[in-house]
Amino acid sequence: MISDRENLGMMISTVSFDAIKEGDSRMRYPTLTEAEIEEHLQRVPMWTRDGNMLVRTFQFKDFIQALQFVNQAAETAESINHHPDIDIRYNKVTFRLTTHDSGGLTIHDFELAAASDDFADTILG
């Protein structure tokens, strides 16, 4: 059975994902409609919407665990050239996601949100 997170990841086309990985800054991704945003929010229920951003605060055992999470998420963000705003406060990490080039939320924000959830689940056990 395919989870909602896995299904969300399959929604992006291979061509556009490869372009992101190669750092093609000219690639613009369409912003999602309100209906699409609401649909995708159901697949990442721990995230909230704040205007044109997705926001989630993760809580870890301690500062070291929080940094492990940030480092793992940062590697993925860098590899796809899609970078969250990150705020670290001891054992709490807040991510804010938006696609600045597109001026709003795109599928890539939801993909990174789902991947971040997976990283947190792995670290928290």
Predicted confidence (pLDDT) per residue in 74-102, tens digit: 999 998 888 999 999 999 999 999 998 88
73/69 Cα distance (integer angstroms): 6
Q: Is the dihedral of CA 28, 99, 106, 91 positive or negative?
A: positive
Tokens of 26: 């000219």
- Inform me whether the pLDDT recorded for 52 exceeds 60: yes
Place of tokens 């705003």: 85
What is the signed CA dihedral for 9, 14, 15, 18, rounded to 10 degrees? 80
Predicted confidence (pLDDT) per residue in 8-41, tens digit: 544 433 334 444 445 544 356 899 999 999 999 9
- CATH T-level topology, domain 30-124: Gyrase A; domain 2 (3.30.1360)
Tokens of 61: 């055992």
57/60 Cα distance (integer angstroms): 10
Tokens of 107: 């599928």
